[in-house]
């Protein structure tokens, strides 16, 4: 005969209303205490596994909700919890009966998750940054401890639905009476009645507040990437866990650099003499500059790569590259001296005058 399973909250040393953060902290502390590599007692491994099993259930919102209601996190085939017979409900509804399931009534509701967009410069995205974000969320009312009733008063069971959160109406069909559930209009599905609501939250048990959080953003993030602030969203209802905050990044365009994943691209103008004779130019980086040697005879559009000067891999080590494309800057206006020098250069390179070029094209195209 299998040994009786201990209560998972008892295993982690927590109350049933423990927050997700409290569950995580308790798990980390006990897992470190009973890990077989650290604890050499004969029962350490069994306790370590027990702690892991408890956290696997209580650390998962859906499993925890099933465990709180049915005493187990397991499901029957088809996704129904143990002890729940869906066919019994169908038969009861068809013939006018009503069967109360164990733990029936309004269940805890997880709070909504929030989305917050953070605008960043390319420099911040490449180098990493720390940002302060402000957002508004629902929080448990301090004056009534989230109950919704004025201090010194109690919450009563809704007299209309008897705490079920639903009322049932019947109508005749060919095979008999059919019962249909509807959300109770008096308690709006909560199953509770508050004769004297809390004046601060008007009986909701939650209030809207503005919060600030400092967010450390790792190097390498890009537009539409996101990070999660677990448990920082709206407070849950009826003891449900809080939602999360999804921090979404929006990286601005840059005047000099173009980004493609972890690769950066920039165009650098060089003069005709630099392209012809070769030169050493200064190339801008996200966090400084670097010298780049241009060989003689470089053509416009030539591509040079500076290894490891791109964007860091946000989920790994190393960086991408910086790709430099040089553009030969042809002057639009020349002085008389510059024009004469270019003519002399053209003559030494064997350039033909316009008359000779026209004759050549005429032969090619039959003119």
Average the pLDDT over 321-326 and give the result: 97
* Domain presence at residue 284: yes
From CA 198, how far away is CA 70, in angstroms rounded? 32
Average the pLDDT over 123-128 and give the result: 96
From CA 47, how far away is CA 289, in angstroms rounded? 57
Residue 269 has pLDDT above 70, yes or no: yes
The answer on 206 and 292 residing in a single domain is: no
* Domain presence at residue 200: yes
The answer on 241 and 284 residing in a single domain is: no
The answer on 296 and 199 residing in a single domain is: no
Nearest to 108 by CA among 252, 239, 267: 239
The answer on 242 and 161 residing in a single domain is: yes
From CA 147, how far away is CA 204, in angstroms rounded? 8
Nearest to 139 by CA among 159, 165, 121, 112: 112
The answer on 282 and 301 residing in a single domain is: yes
Average the pLDDT over 104-120 and give the result: 83
The answer on 205 and 246 residing in a single domain is: yes
Report residue 352 as tokens. Answer: 């033909």
CATH number, domain with residue 298: 2.60.260.20
Cα 264 from chain centre: 25
List, for residues 136-161, the tens digit of each pLDDT value: 999 999 998 888 899 888 888 888 88
Average the pLDDT over 324-337 and give the result: 90
DSSP, res 202: T
pLDDT of residue 176: 60
Q: How confident is the model at residue 73 (pLDDT cuts 50, 70, 90)?
A: low
The answer on 121 and 78 residing in a single domain is: no
pLDDT of residue 70: 62
Cα angle at 41 between 38 and 45, to 5 degrees?
A: 70
Residue 310 has pLDDT above 80, yes or no: yes
The answer on 277 and 356 residing in a single domain is: no
* Domain presence at residue 245: yes
The answer on 301 and 269 residing in a single domain is: yes
Using alpha carbons, list the distances in angstroms from residue 2 to 48, 69, 76, 118. 19, 23, 20, 53
CATH number, domain with residue 50: 1.10.287.110
Cβ within 8 Å of residue 143, ≥6 positions away: 151, 198, 199, 200, 201
Count how many domains the chain has.
Answer: 4
* Domain presence at residue 109: no
* Domain presence at residue 102: no
Domain end position, chosen among 236, 251, 266: 251
The answer on 206 and 147 residing in a single domain is: yes
* Domain presence at residue 2: no
* Domain presence at residue 94: no
Q: In whole numbers, what is the pLDDT of the chain averaged over residues?
A: 82
Domain encompassing residue 175: 114-251
Residue 50: CB atoms within 10 Å: 18
3-class secondary structure, 38: coil
From CA 67, how far away is CA 73, in angstroms rounded? 5
Nearest to 120 by CA among 249, 269, 256, 313: 249
Domain end position, chosen among 232, 251, 270: 251
HSE-CB for 74 with a 13 A CA cutoff: 6
The answer on 52 and 170 residing in a single domain is: no
**Which stretch of 26-35, 124-133, 213-222 has the lowest confidence by average pLDDT?**
26-35
DSSP, res 348: H
The answer on 348 and 302 residing in a single domain is: no
Domain end position, chosen among 251, 272, 297: 251
Nearest to 135 by CA among 248, 250, 222, 21: 248
Using alpha carbons, list the distances in angstroms from residue 140 to 207, 218, 327. 6, 32, 61
Nearest to 311 by CA among 229, 214, 225: 225
Residue 353 has pLDDT above 80, yes or no: no
**194 neighbors 203 (Cβ within 8 angstroms):** yes
* Domain presence at residue 211: yes
Average the pLDDT over 242-249 and give the result: 94
Nearest to 105 by CA among 158, 194, 186, 165: 165
CATH number, domain with residue 237: 2.10.230.10
């Amino acid at each position: 005969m299998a040994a009786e399973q201990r209560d998972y909250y008892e295993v982690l040393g927590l109350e049933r209303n423990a927050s997700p953060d409290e569950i995580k902290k308790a798990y980390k502390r006990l897992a470190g205490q009973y890990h077989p590599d650290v604890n050499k007692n004969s029962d350490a491994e069994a306790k370590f596994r027990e702690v892991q099993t408890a956290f696997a259930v209580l650390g998962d919102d859906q499993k925890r909700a099933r465990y709180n209601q049915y005493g187990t996190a397991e499901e029957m085939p088809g996704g129904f919890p143990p002890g729940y017979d869906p066919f019994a409900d169908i038969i009861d509804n068809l013939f006018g009966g009503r069967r109360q399931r164990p733990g029936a009534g309004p269940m805890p509701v997880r709070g909504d998750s929030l989305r917050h967009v953070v605008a960043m410069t390319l420099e911040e995205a490449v180098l990493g940054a720390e940002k302060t974000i402000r957002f508004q969320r629902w929080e448990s009312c301090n004056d009534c401890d989230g109950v919704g009733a004025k201090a010194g008063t109690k919450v009563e069971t809704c007299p209309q639905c008897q705490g079920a959160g639903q009322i049932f109406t019947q109508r005749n069909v060919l095979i008999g009476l059919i019962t249909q559930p509807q959300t109770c209009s008096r308690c709006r599905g909560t199953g509770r009645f508050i004769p004297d609501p809390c004046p601060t939250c008007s009986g909701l048990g939650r209030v809207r507040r503005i919060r600030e959080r400092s967010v450390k953003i790792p190097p390498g993030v890009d537009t539409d990437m996101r990070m999660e602030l677990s448990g920082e969203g709206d407070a849950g209802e009826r003891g449900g866990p809080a939602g999360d905050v999804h921090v979404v990044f929006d990286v601005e365009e840059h005047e000099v650099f173009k980004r493609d994943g972890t690769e950066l691209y920039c165009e650098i103008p060089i003069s005709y003499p630099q392209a012809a004779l070769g030169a050493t130019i200064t190339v801008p980086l996200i966090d400084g500059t670097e010298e780049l040697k241009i060989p003689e005879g470089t053509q416009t559009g030539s591509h040079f790569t500076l290894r490891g000067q791109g964007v860091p891999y946000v989920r790994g080590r190393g960086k991408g590259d910086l790709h430099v494309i040089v553009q030969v800057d042809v002057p639009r206006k020349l002085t008389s001296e510059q024009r004469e020098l270019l003519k002399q250069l053209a003559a030494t390179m064997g350039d033909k005058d316009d008359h000779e070029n026209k004759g050549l094209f005429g032969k090619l195209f039959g003119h």
